[in-house]
Amino acid sequence: MRFSILASVLSLLALGAMVASPGPATAAKSKMGCDTETEMWNAAAGKCEPGARKYKRKSADQPAEKTAAAKKAPAAKKAPAAKKAPAAK
């Protein structure tokens, strides 16, 4: 009887350890199934290829960066030229 109690307690501990343990590590995958850190999709070949992305994704939290021309303040407009008085006759 003591042996059966000990066996049931050990089996419950083993079951609890299996349930609480983290699952297998999964890498972040893109929609095409490529690992987002080390692979990129090659549409011409139709498969994932090793290499880094050419373009980085913009997150929704970051504001879009403006170009250098858009960052500069617009030039101040010059006042119109003063009208000349008509010549007296």
> What are the residue boundaries of the structural domains of the chain, listed by start?
27-52
Kindly report, residue by residue over 21-46, the tens digit of the pLDDT.
Answer: 766 667 788 888 888 888 888 889 89
pTM here is 0.33
Provide the pLDDT for residue 15: 87
State the pLDDT confidence band at 68, using cuts at 50, 70 and 90: low
d(C-alpha 25, C-alpha 17), whole Å? 17
d(C-alpha 38, C-alpha 11), whole Å? 41
Structure tokens at 64: 């879009």
Structure tokens at 4: 């059966």
